[in-house]
Structure 1
Amino acid sequence: MSDPEPGKDREPGKRRVVLWRHGQTRWNVERRFQGKTDIPLDETGLQQARRAARLLAALRPTALLTSPLQRASDTAQALATITGLPVAQDRDLVERDGGAWEGLTNQEIRERYPAEYAAWQPPGGETSAQVAKRVSAAIERALDDLPPTGLLVVASHGAALRLGMCGLLGLPEQHWDNLGGLANCCWSVLSERRGGEGWRLVEHNAGTLPEPVLSDDRAVNGT
C-alpha cells in the first residue's frame, strides 16, 4: 500500500500560524532601518518578549520557528522557556535587506534617497516581492510538518512578516500596503480555510501596546 500524498490525512481548516514580531531594539527607538543588521533587543524589548510569551503560551503552540537574527531568536526564546518547545531557525525569515539604508534613520533616508523613499525600494536591497516570496516559502515549509490541529508560532520581523503574510494570503501586490504594520512584540493569526484551501487572517497586530509602531516597513514609514 503506497503512502498517502502529503497533506491528504490532514484535517482541513484546523491548523493555525501566529506571526510574531520581535521586541523593541535601540534602533527601533532611533527609527533606524535595521534590515539584516543583527541588533539585539533592548531592556524594554526583553520585557515585551516575556509579557507576550505568557499570552502566546496560553494558545498552546505546537511548533516554534524563528529568524536567526538575535532580536527575533531572543524573542522566540522567551516563549520556548515557558512552553519547553524546541526553537527551529530558518534564514529565510530574516528582515528585508535594506542595502544602503541599513543603519540610517528614517529622516536620513528621506533626505538622501527621496525617489527611492517614495517607492520604498532600498538601493542594493530586496524588493517587496522578493521578501514576500522567501518569507511565505519559509512559513509554508514549516507548515508542511505541522500536525492537523497544530499551532505554529513564527518569530520574525515587521516587514518580513507583513509581506510574507500577504504572500500566504494570496493578496495581489497592489493591495499589500492595505495591511498595516506590526508593532514590536505584537502578532497576527492566520487559520487554515475549510478544505485546506489557503489561509484566512483572523487577528492582526494583536497585543498592541499604546505606543507607535516603529519598523523598517513601508506600511509604517512609507507615504
Structure 2
Amino acid sequence: MSDTPRVLFLRHGRTAWNAENRFQGQTDIELDPVGHAQARRAGDLLAPLGPDVIVASDLRRAADTAGYLSRATGVRVEFDKGLRERFGGSWEGRTGVELAARWPSEHARMDIPDGEPISEVGDRMRAAVDRGLARTPAGGLLAVVSHGAALRVGIARMLGVPDEQREILGPLSNCSWSVLQERRGQWRLMEHNAASLPEPVVLSDDA
C-alpha cells in the first residue's frame, strides 16, 4: 500500500433549501428525505474505501451525512467548525433569483457584501484538513464531510489554485465527492464530483 495520504471530500445530502435554490451559508438546515437517502447511499458506497478518520462540519446537514458513513464503517465522526459553509450574511435564506435581482454584479462574482471573505474560508478549510491529516495514519484515507462552496475553496487551496480561480473546479452535487492524493509533495485531483466508484487504474500515467 502506498504511504501517501488521500483525502475524500464529501458534500452533504440535499436539504429543502437546496431544492429551493436558497443560499444556506451557516444557517443550520437539516437534510430532507431525499438528502437522507443520498447520504445513506453514499455511506454504503464509500465504506469499502475504508476511511481511517472522518471529520465533518458540525452543521446538521453535514453532521448527519457523516453519520451514515460512520455507521457504514464503524469509524467515529470528529467535528471541526473549520469545515462549516461560508457565512453568507444577508444572503442566507434568499433564492438565487432574489440574489441576482438585488445584487446582480455581486452575485455574478459571488462577492457577498456582508459575508465571509473567500480567503478566510480557504484558510480555515486548509487548517481543518491539516488537523485531520495529522490524525490519519501514513497511507490512510481522511474523509472530510462539508459543504459545496467551502469544499471547492478547500480543494482549490490543496491544489495550489488561487482563490479567485477556484471556479475552474466545477461544483459538487449533493452527496458527490472528490478525492485528492499526495504525490511527490503535491496534491493531485484524482476524482471530482463523483457519485460512483471508478474502475481501478491498472497503469500509472508515467508507465
For the aligned residues, what is the CA RMSD? Answer: 1.4
1:177-220 CA-to-partner distances (Å, cap 9, x unmatched) read 111000000000000113xx131110000107xxxxxxxxxxxx
Q: Which ranges of structure 2 fall in alignment gaps of 5 or more residues?
A: 197-207
- Residue identity opposite 2:67 in structure 1: Q
Residue 115 of structure 1 pairs with residue 102 of structure 2: no
Note if contact 1:12-1:193 (Cα within 8 Å) is conserved in structure 2: no
* Aligned position for 1:8: none
Residue 155 of structure 1 pairs with residue 145 of structure 2: yes
Shift in Å, 1:13: 5.3
Note if contact 1:12-1:192 (Cα within 8 Å) is conserved in structure 2: no
* Aligned position for 1:66: 56
TM-score (norm 2): 0.91
Residue 77 of structure 1 pairs with residue 76 of structure 2: no
SS at 2:156's partner residue? helix
Instruction: Give the % identical residues.
Output: 51
* Aligned position for 1:138: 128
Shift in Å, 1:117: 1.1
TM-score (norm 1): 0.85
- Residue identity opposite 1:203 in structure 2: E
- Residue identity opposite 2:132 in structure 1: A
Q: Quick one: distance in 2 between partners of 1:13 and 1:160?
A: 27
Aligned length: 196
Alignment of 1:63-212 (within 5 A): 63-194=53-184, 197-207=185-195
Note if contact 2:3-2:140 (Cα within 8 Å) is conserved in structure 1: no
SS at 1:164's partner residue? helix
Q: Segments of 4+ in structure 1 off by > 6 A?
A: none
Note if contact 1:13-1:191 (Cα within 8 Å) is conserved in structure 2: no
Shift in Å, 1:148: 0.4
Q: Which ranges of structure 1 fall in alignment gaps of 5 or more residues?
A: 1-10, 209-223
Residue 20 of structure 1 pairs with residue 6 of structure 2: no
Sort the Cα spacing of 1:90 and 1:59 in 2 relative to 1 into closer, same or farther, 3 A: same
SS at 1:58's partner residue? helix
